[in-house]
Structure 1
Amino acid sequence: MTQSMSSESELATAAARADTVQQRIQKLQDYDVLRFPRLDHKVDRMTIPAFREKFEDEASTPAAKSITLEGRIMSIRRAGSKLVFIHILGGYQQVQVMVHLGSLASPSLNPEVFRNALHPLCRGDIISVTGTAIRTKTGELTLRTLELPTILSPALAPLPEKLIKEETKVLNRHVDLLVNRRTSDILRLRSQIIKSMRDFLHEHDFLEVQTPILAESAGGAIARPFLTATTLSEKQLALRIAPELWLKRLVVGGNDKVFEIGPSFRNEGIDTTHNPEFTSCEFYSAYFNLKELIQMTQSLIIRLHHDVNQVIATRLTSLQKPQFSIPDGQWRQVEFIPALEDILGFNFPDLSKPSALGHLTSLLAEDHPSLDISGMPLNKLLDHLAVTYLEDASLSQPLFIINHPACMSPLSKSFICPKTGQLVSARAELFIDGREIANMYEEENDPFEQRRKFQLQVETRASSLVAGEEGPGEVDESYVQTLQHGLPPTGGWGCGVDRIVMLFSGAPRIGETLSFGNLKNVVSLAQVAKSS
């Protein structure tokens, strides 16, 4: 068996993998090193990043003090019978290890013992090495060993040099992370983005909380939930589609500024920008209006842009810096209805009336017959028009679309637009590079109006149900009762963290920002394992 596997075909079939693993096991048994020992305590242990930082300056090496490093073998190069160079990986960094027979502390070692001790080592093995820091003739920082390497965890399956095929990568994500630096760097960037968001909100005096994921009602958005049966209730429970209603309950409870970063679930399709399980960030601030929400959003994106640029320049060098620019001053805003009326060439009917859908459909069919809008309820039709005619303006610069029709935002405050006379929401969406990045609005805090909007939401869903879907849902009376205790005027904000990571990393698919890809990848992983 070769010491490294350069072709991903080694991962292609279960039979080939089993044969390769068995060969590896036999070799380790032949050399009596098939073991997984506990890690001994050593006072001289260092991580590879700490080792590189300590001896970054050439003046600090060589060093006489003994140091122990652990890491995964990424390459082995034999330079004769008495000298071997190994590169090991740990903490996302690599370092060279030099094993030279003449430098080892034990005088009883001979070339045959030396060769037999190193021969079982293979790319992918996790080893422990002890030695001193030196610089080679080429100036490369190296650990010159004083003892033979110890295998801590042998790699039974081969570690390829690279993975290229997407199917192979998603079914072997752990291998993809090891051999493709960009895959690992995107996940590290995701962590940095979440940290920056969390730091930003803490700096603005927000309280971080965790709210229920499983409850009797999904609540918080218009989406199809995942339902599950439990022993706690005769009714099926639902995975949340958003934490919104829980967070606003906390604001009612006197927590003026709250936020949550966590998972939400929507039982809908999978595509390049959607996954049924996703991470969201939502915050709610008492006494915030729409203007303040927009200003805070702009400040947050500027902060993220700065932090991402910095971390890519210094640590995540396989990634490109963000490919969108941050303009000076206030970012562009367009009002939903006036902007569409200008583009479409006609005035909208009163969108709050029951006849609005039929009237608007007729106008579009007459003036824009190529639009495919058949069967859409009013809120989805309006959203389709925004996607078609407004969102692309964000390809050149960040864009806030503001004051959506009230029927599109059942949880937001409404007011009469002075330009159009339409009932609109105090809402804004931020788009960058053609993607929705954040959604924000002033929260509805009138319990009577909220009940009416909930009822309208139920009726709208009932009219648009297709065969096989769950029922239209129901009015969340517990939330309406919460509002009876008084929700202050409140601004709410939410974003999909996965999409933020897509924007800043340049990843074309949402699955690349997730630890194990999208739901289809996760399910395939389990199915492949069962069939092998």
Structure 2
Amino acid sequence: MRPSPRLQFLRPYTWKPACPPNPAYLRFFHLARQQELEQANALKYPRLRHHGPSMRIPDFRGKYAAIEQGAVADEEVTLHGRVESVRRAGSKLIFLDLRGEFEHVQGVCNFGKLVDGTTIGGLKELARLLNRGDIISVKGRATRTPTGELTIQATHLPELLTPSLVPLPTKLIDESRTQHRHLDMLVNRRTTDIMRLRSYLVKYLRDFLHARDFLEFQTPILAGDAGGASARPFTVSAKTVSRDVSLRIAPELWLKRLVVGGVDRVFELGPAFRNEGIDQTHNPEFTICEFYHAYANLADLISLTEDLIRGAAAHCQSLIVTKLTSLPPIDLPAFERPFQQAEFIPTLQQSLGFTLPDLTSPAALETLLSLLKEHNIPLDLDPTAPPTLPHLLDHLAAAYIEPLSARAPLFITHHPVCMSPLAKSFTCPRTGQAVSARTELFMAGRELANMYEEENDPAAQRRKFVEQVAAKTAATTEQELEGPAVIDESYVHALASGLPPTGGWGCGVERLVMLFAGTRRIGDCLSFGNLRNVVGLSAAGPGSAATSGAGAAASVGKGGQGLELEQEHGNEKEKGSGSSSSSAGVQ
């Protein structure tokens, strides 16, 4: 079967949201390409056989980086990779661009250099069948062309390992990127570089903490109650314990139990789940890094954080210069130590132009709202959901303090006690307010890390739990009922065994990736986008283009009947696609 002129014309293209790939067209291409390969006896999906030493493309480039023009290496090696382009120069010469492990190399298949007995007809057949996106194996020797391009000169006819049955686009944009993330990673270098930066950054965090004698532990993800932060949890049914359990919103209380148990320096890097909204900086499932350092105070935590963030910035910049070249450079001077600091209450009072009331008073919320109204300070709050005092203070900080981090990292220190129920507290000598030994690190208006001296007095901790539960129980709106209204008596009992003075630290990994990758969307830092994207993919089910195409392909007959049958499946799929794409609700 000769390749269809239509297929040859339409193979390279861009998927645009205004004109997404037609599922019927993709399945037509799939079937036509499959039939083409079958008739040529090339649709085999062979087991991998190493004909001589197998080498990674990055290793190949490193080993033969110094090879001179015109020189040919003595050693025969085998490279595997995906074809990015095929260029035919007459009937006896083929040029290939081969990509593997994020690097590429040129391949040359010259009939006069083949030593495996390949005929001219065999070379022409390969040139006719190879497509952009195919995965092949090339055995040959390293050389450098007269134009200076490092090349593998084939000594054996390249072997087709896995054909690409659907056309590989040249570019994906907007919603097509998250709907087809695997293709997005193949054709958009920046997408892959962000994911690679995330991987390197996770390794850096682990190495940084291991180098300072922290031990990594894994704590439960499922528990009777989610604790350690103020957020609405996910609940699931567990048959073995005959009750509903919660996915953790943070590993904090578990890790502090380990400190009580004698692990003075402990950390965990893993998933956390919060049953809340989705926006550019929040996703219900995310990765958190928390560490707990016995005998460390707030000054120690700030110093350690400056070391970590400054080092991470330098590390990521070196990667961007050498490997992740599609990402924008990092402004390293902005991360010079020491980072700026701003005390919560004094800074807020200076911005608002009045003194805050006693924030521990039962009438603090009402008094503060009256003062804001008296000074004509607008509040963009939801009128259907009256704010709690912590929410109001957090809103004011976002408006008047966090913007100070626009150009350089900023520590916001000593939050009011009502905002930090798990932190140690003291009376601020400047304001006379009860504040917590806590600081948050912000950069470009986004929170990067949260840290504080842990409350280790069991009686004080229980009292704070009681106050937290009372505030949640008094709430009347869904927005206010964010977390579990329970007292974790087990944790209070653990504190009774003695928690040493301890500094705790937490950071959302995606926030760090966003900062150093120069992206404003958390979905760009997640392998398959945010929860809406993931639910949309998993909800596609048997009506999706890939499944329908594969199912119809298995029943393709001869004489055009298969294509006609495929069109019927295509109509069904388009109806199914419309319903699945609307499933965007996650709450």
Q: TM-score range by the shorter chain?
A: over 0.9
Q: Is the 8 A contact 1:333 1:399 kept in 2?
A: yes
Alignment match, 2:23: 14
Is residue 175 of structure 1 aligned with residue 183 of structure 2? yes
Cα deviation 1:238-271 (Å, max 9, x = unaligned)? 0000000010000000000001111000000000
**Mapped pair 1:507 → 2:519:** yes
- The residue aligned with 1:494 is 506
1:461-487 Cα distance to aligned partner (Å, 9 max, x none): 223342596885210111111101110
Structure 1, residues 296-340: CA drift from partner, whole Å, max 9, x if none? Answer: 111101100110111111111111112463354422111111111
Match of 2:375 in 1: 367
- CA distance 1:241–1:36, shift in 2 (3 Å): same
Displacement after TM superposition at 1:369 (Å): 4.2
Indicate the residue corresponding to 1:63 in structure 2: 73
Q: State the 1:62 CA deviation.
A: 1.6
Q: 2:439 aligns with which of 428, 441, 454?
A: 428
1:308–1:321 Cα contact (<8 Å) kept: no
Equivalent residue number for residue 35 of structure 1 = 44
**2: distance between equivalents of 1:435 and 1:314?**
27
TM-score (norm 1): 0.96
Q: Deviations over 1:163-183 (max 9, x none)?
A: 12x110100000000111110
CA contact (8 A) 2:334 2:407 kept: no
Aligned to 2:353: 345
Shift of 1:15: 2.0
Aligned equivalents of 1:98 and 1:204: distance in 2? 50
1:397 aligns with 2:404: no
Partner letter of residue 512 of structure 1? D
For 1:360 and 1:11, the matched residues in 2 are separated by: 52
- Paired position in structure 2 for 1:242: 250
2:579 aligned partner: none
Aligned residue runs from structure 1 range 66-215, under 5 A:
66-107=76-117, 109-164=118-173, 166-215=174-223
Aligned-residue sequence identity (percent) comes to 52
Query: For 2:172 and 2:365, how far apart are their aligned partners in 1?
Result: 51
| 1:465/1:126 CA distance change after superposition, 3 Å | farther
What is the one-letter code of the residue matched to 2:192?
S
Q: Distance in 2 between matches of 1:512 and 1:59?
A: 41
Change (3 A) 1:113 1:41: closer
Q: 1:391-416: per-residue Cα shift (whole Å, max 9, x none)? A: 00001221110000000000000101
CA contact (8 A) 1:47 1:90 kept: yes
The change in CA–CA distance for 1:226 and 1:29 in structure 2 (over 3 A counts) is: same
The one-letter amino acid paired with 1:296 is: L
CA distance in 1, matches of 2:329, 2:30: 40
Cα distance in 1, alignment partners of residues 42 and 20 from structure 2: 24
**Any unmatched runs of 5+ in structure 1?**
none
Q: Equivalent residue for 1:354?
A: 362
- Alignment check: 8 A CA contact 2:233 2:484 kept: no
Q: Deviations over 1:7-26 (max 9, x none)?
A: 32696232222111111111
Q: Does 2:476 align with 1:476?
A: no
Moved more, 396-405 or 38-47: 38-47
Which moved further from structure 2: 352-361 or 322-331? Answer: 322-331
Distance in 2 (alpha carbons) for counterparts of 1:263 and 1:530: 29
Alpha-carbon contact 1:11-1:17 (below 8 Å) kept: no
Cα distance, 1:439–1:471 mapped onto 2, change above 3 Å = closer
Q: Deviations over 1:338-376 (max 9, x none)?
A: 111111121111111211111111111111342234511
Which residue of structure 2 aligns with residue 450 of structure 1?
Answer: 461
The 10-residue stretch of structure 1 (475-484 or 8-17) with the greater mean CA deviation from structure 2: 8-17
Q: Deviations over 1:25-56 (max 9, x none)?
A: 11111111111111113441111111111110
Contact 1:35 1:154 in 2 (8 A): no
Tell me how far 1:155 sits from its aligned partner: 1.1
SS in 2 for 1:326: helix
C-alpha change, 1:362 and 1:472, in structure 2 (3 Å) is: farther
Structure-2 residue corresponding to 1:286 = 294
Distance in 1 between the 2:177 and 2:79 partners?
29
**Aligned equivalents of 1:184 and 1:465: distance in 2?**
45
Task: Give the drift of 1:158.
Answer: 1.4
Q: Which residue of 2 aligns with 1:419?
A: 430
The answer as to whether partners of 1:324 and 1:397 remain within 8 angstroms in 2 is no
Which one-letter code corresponds to 1:257 in the other structure? R
Q: 1:167 to 1:529 in 2, by over 3 A?
A: farther
Q: Which runs of structure 2 are paired with 1:316-331 in the superposition (5 Å)?
A: 316-323=324-331, 325-326=333-334, 328-331=336-339
Residue 192 of structure 1 deviates from its aligned partner by 1.1
| Range 34-43 or range 115-124, more displaced | 34-43
User: Deviation digits for residues 169-221 of structure 1, max 9, x if unmatched?
Assistant: 10000000011111000111111111111111111110011111111111100
CA distance in 2, matches of 1:45, 1:195: 27
Deviation at 1:113, TM superposition (A): 2.7
Letter in 2 for 1:28: L
- Deviation track 1:443-497 (CA, whole Å, cap 9, x = no partner) reads 0001111111111111222233425968852101111111011100000000110
Provide the rounded CA distance (Å) in 2 between the counterparts of 1:195 and 1:339: 36
* Separation (CA, whole Å) in 2 of partners of 1:353 and 1:502: 39
SS of 1:279's equivalent in the other structure is: strand
Supply the distance in 1 between the matched residues of 2:139 and 2:478 (Cα, whole angstroms): 67
For 1:430, the aligned partner's letter is: L
Matched residue, 2:303: 295
Structure 2: stretches of 5+ with no match in the other structure = 1-6, 545-587
Comparing 369-378 with 319-328, which one deviates more in the overlay? 319-328
Q: Is the CA contact (8 Å cut-off) linking 1:85 and 1:99 kept in structure 2?
A: yes
Assess if the C-alpha contact under 8 Å between 2:233 and 2:483 holds in 1. Answer: no
Deviation at 1:160, TM superposition (A): 0.9
Name which of structure 1's ranges 149-158 and 361-370 shifts more when overlaid on structure 2. 361-370
Q: How far did residue 529 of structure 1 move? A: 4.7
Aligned-partner SS, 1:58:
coil
Q: Is the 8 A contact 2:56 2:80 kept in 1?
A: yes
| Structure-2 separation of matches of 1:383 and 1:439 | 14
> Is 2:448 the partner of 1:437?
yes
Contact 1:245-1:479 within 8 A present in 2 as well: yes
Judging changes above 3 Å, is the alpha-carbon distance between structure 1 residues 184 and 65 closer, same or farther for their aligned structure 2 residues? same
User: Contact conserved, 2:314 with 2:332, CA < 8 A, in 1?
Assistant: no
1:302–1:326 contact (8 Å) kept in structure 2: no
RMSD over aligned Cα, in angstroms?
Answer: 1.7
Q: Is the 8 A contact 2:343 2:413 kept in 1?
A: yes
Residues 32, 235 of structure 1: CA spacing in aligned structure 2 closer, same or farther, 3 A cutoff? same
237-246 or 323-332: which moved more?
Answer: 323-332
Name the CA distance, whole Å, in 1 between partners of 2:389 and 2:78. 66
